[in-house]
Amino acid sequence: MVVIHCISLPQGRYGTPYVDDLFQGRLDTSVHPSFADLSGVRVSAHVVIDRRGRCVQYVPFDQRAWHAGVSQWNRRQGCNDFGIGIELEGTETSTYTARQYRSLNRLLAALLERYPRLHPGAIVGHCEIAPQRKRDPGPKFDWVRCLQGLDC
């Protein structure tokens, strides 16, 4: 499965070095008051797609990333164990950019080709695997645009 997330640090600010710092385990949580909750947090994603559509890979697709937390999909617990996490730079209430959708479409197409058991129905939002805790990628995320051209 693939789980679509969103992230910005601080919330709603883009192009900062803090997402990279977080996923590389070197975030200085004293830099911004909103980072206090991130102290000691172990989190990662397979890929982050920034507002310009640039993809940065943090974890190889065949390795476990810490992106889903307590989660369940199709009655299977622990989505970190079998899911690929893709973070879009944004917020739950922001509109994502055309460049992000283009990069996401290319990445999803490549993943579908690489993993024959993966299918468009297994591309979900964080909100679907942890509905009591998470709302991302948010109501402005365009699922039709995301899945466009993926042989749905």
Residues designated as active site: 87
- Distance between CA atoms of residues 125 and 123, nearest Å: 7
CB 86 within 8 A of CB 46: yes
Q: Where are the alpha helices (DSSP H) in 24-130?
A: 98-114, 126-129
- Distance between CA atoms of residues 105 and 95, nearest Å: 16
Q: What are residue 5's DSSP bridge partners?
A: 87
**Rounded CA Rg of the chain:** 15
- Distance between CA atoms of residues 75 and 111, nearest Å: 23
Residue 131 DSSP one-character state: T
- Distance between CA atoms of residues 119 and 109, nearest Å: 10
